[in-house]
Protein backbone atom coordinates (compact mmCIF):
# COMPACT_ATOMS: atom_id res chain seq x y z
CA UNK A 1 0.00 0.00 0.00
CA UNK A 2 1.15 3.53 -0.66
CA UNK A 3 2.32 5.33 2.42
CA UNK A 4 3.98 8.51 3.59
CA UNK A 5 6.26 8.65 6.61
CA UNK A 6 7.06 11.75 8.58
CA UNK A 7 9.94 11.06 10.87
CA UNK A 8 9.22 13.43 13.70
CA UNK A 9 6.01 13.59 15.66
CA UNK A 10 6.87 16.74 17.59
CA UNK A 11 9.73 19.15 17.06
CA UNK A 12 10.58 21.94 19.49
CA UNK A 13 12.89 24.73 18.35
CA UNK A 14 13.95 28.12 19.54
CA UNK A 15 13.37 31.12 17.31
CA UNK A 16 16.04 31.57 14.63
CA UNK A 17 16.94 27.89 14.67
CA UNK A 18 16.98 26.03 11.38
CA UNK A 19 14.27 23.54 10.57
CA UNK A 20 14.23 20.34 8.61
CA UNK A 21 11.22 18.02 8.63
CA UNK A 22 11.61 14.65 7.00
CA UNK A 23 9.15 13.04 4.61
CA UNK A 24 9.56 9.74 2.80
CA UNK A 25 7.06 8.01 0.59
CA UNK A 26 6.71 4.50 -0.69
CA UNK A 27 7.64 3.83 -4.26
CA UNK A 28 4.79 4.19 -6.69
CA UNK A 29 6.12 5.64 -9.88
CA UNK A 30 5.51 9.24 -10.80
CA UNK A 31 4.44 11.39 -7.90
CA UNK A 32 3.37 14.92 -7.10
CA UNK A 33 4.46 16.11 -3.68
CA UNK A 34 3.01 18.61 -1.25
CA UNK A 35 3.54 20.15 2.12
CA UNK A 36 0.51 21.50 3.94
CA UNK A 37 0.48 23.49 7.15
CA UNK A 38 -2.25 23.80 9.74
CA UNK A 39 -1.92 26.72 12.12
CA UNK A 40 -3.78 26.40 15.43
CA UNK A 41 -7.51 26.66 14.87
CA UNK A 42 -7.19 27.11 11.13
CA UNK A 43 -7.65 25.09 7.96
CA UNK A 44 -4.94 23.25 6.10
CA UNK A 45 -3.02 25.50 3.75
CA UNK A 46 -0.71 24.60 0.92
CA UNK A 47 2.90 25.55 1.71
CA UNK A 48 4.50 24.30 -1.46
CA UNK A 49 4.23 21.67 -4.13
CA UNK A 50 6.40 19.76 -6.56
CA UNK A 51 5.14 18.44 -9.87
CA UNK A 52 8.24 18.40 -12.06
CA UNK A 53 11.34 20.40 -12.93
CA UNK A 54 13.73 21.88 -10.40
CA UNK A 55 13.73 19.52 -7.41
CA UNK A 56 14.32 22.43 -5.04
CA UNK A 57 10.96 24.05 -4.51
CA UNK A 58 10.34 27.35 -2.79
CA UNK A 59 7.07 27.99 -1.02
CA UNK A 60 5.46 30.65 1.05
CA UNK A 61 6.89 32.17 4.23
CA UNK A 62 10.46 31.22 3.47
CA UNK A 63 9.93 27.48 3.34
CA UNK A 64 11.56 25.25 0.77
CA UNK A 65 11.63 21.54 0.07
CA UNK A 66 13.92 19.29 -1.89
CA UNK A 67 12.74 16.29 -3.87
CA UNK A 68 15.37 13.54 -3.89
CA UNK A 69 14.00 10.87 -6.18
CA UNK A 70 16.60 8.26 -5.29
CA UNK A 71 15.69 8.52 -1.63
CA UNK A 72 11.92 8.90 -2.14
CA UNK A 73 12.16 11.95 0.06
CA UNK A 74 10.71 15.45 0.11
CA UNK A 75 12.10 17.18 3.18
CA UNK A 76 10.88 20.57 4.28
CA UNK A 77 13.37 23.21 5.36
CA UNK A 78 13.48 26.73 6.70
CA UNK A 79 16.76 28.47 7.62
CA UNK A 80 15.37 30.45 10.54
CA UNK A 81 12.05 29.72 12.19
CA UNK A 82 9.79 32.22 13.87
CA UNK A 83 7.30 31.82 16.67
CA UNK A 84 4.52 32.21 14.09
CA UNK A 85 5.68 29.00 12.41
CA UNK A 86 4.23 27.03 15.30
CA UNK A 87 1.82 24.69 13.53
CA UNK A 88 1.34 21.15 12.33
CA UNK A 89 2.97 20.22 9.04
CA UNK A 90 1.72 17.49 6.74
CA UNK A 91 3.51 15.92 3.85
CA UNK A 92 1.26 14.53 1.11
CA UNK A 93 1.84 12.52 -2.03
CA UNK A 94 -0.27 12.16 -5.10
CA UNK A 95 0.51 8.96 -6.97
CA UNK A 96 -0.05 8.66 -10.71
CA UNK A 97 -2.50 6.22 -12.19
CA UNK A 98 -5.97 5.23 -11.08
CA UNK A 99 -7.23 7.37 -8.24
CA UNK A 100 -4.55 9.96 -8.87
CA UNK A 101 -6.71 12.69 -7.37
CA UNK A 102 -6.25 11.12 -3.94
CA UNK A 103 -3.65 12.53 -1.63
CA UNK A 104 -1.88 10.20 0.77
CA UNK A 105 -0.91 12.10 3.89
CA UNK A 106 1.72 11.53 6.51
CA UNK A 107 0.72 11.64 10.16
CA UNK A 108 1.96 15.17 10.57
CA UNK A 109 4.72 16.86 12.56
CA UNK A 110 3.88 19.35 15.25
CA UNK A 111 6.34 22.20 15.37
CA UNK A 112 6.57 24.32 18.48
CA UNK A 113 8.76 27.40 18.26
CA UNK A 114 9.83 28.90 21.56
CA UNK A 115 10.32 32.68 21.60
Q: Kindly list the residues in this chain that would bind other proteins in the complex (CB under 8 A).
A: 4, 6, 32, 34, 36, 41-46, 49, 90, 92, 94, 99-108
The three-state secondary structure class of 35 is strand
75-84: string of b/e by CB count within 10 Å (b at 16+)? bbebeebeee
Which is closer to other proteins, CB of 74 or CB of 108?
Answer: 108
d(CA 88, CA 60): 15
Q: How would you class 57 by CB atoms within 10 Å of its CB: exposed for 0-12, middle for 13-18, buried for 19 or more?
A: buried
* Least distance to other proteins, CB of residue 15, Å: 27
* Least distance to other proteins, CB of residue 62, Å: 20
Which is closer to other proteins, CB of 85 or CB of 108?
Answer: 108
* Least distance to other proteins, CB of residue 17, Å: 25
Which is closer to other proteins, CB of 41 or CB of 53?
Answer: 41
Amino acid sequence: AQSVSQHNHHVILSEAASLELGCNYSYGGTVNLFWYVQYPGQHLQLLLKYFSGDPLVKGIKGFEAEFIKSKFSFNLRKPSVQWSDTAEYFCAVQYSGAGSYQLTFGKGTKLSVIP
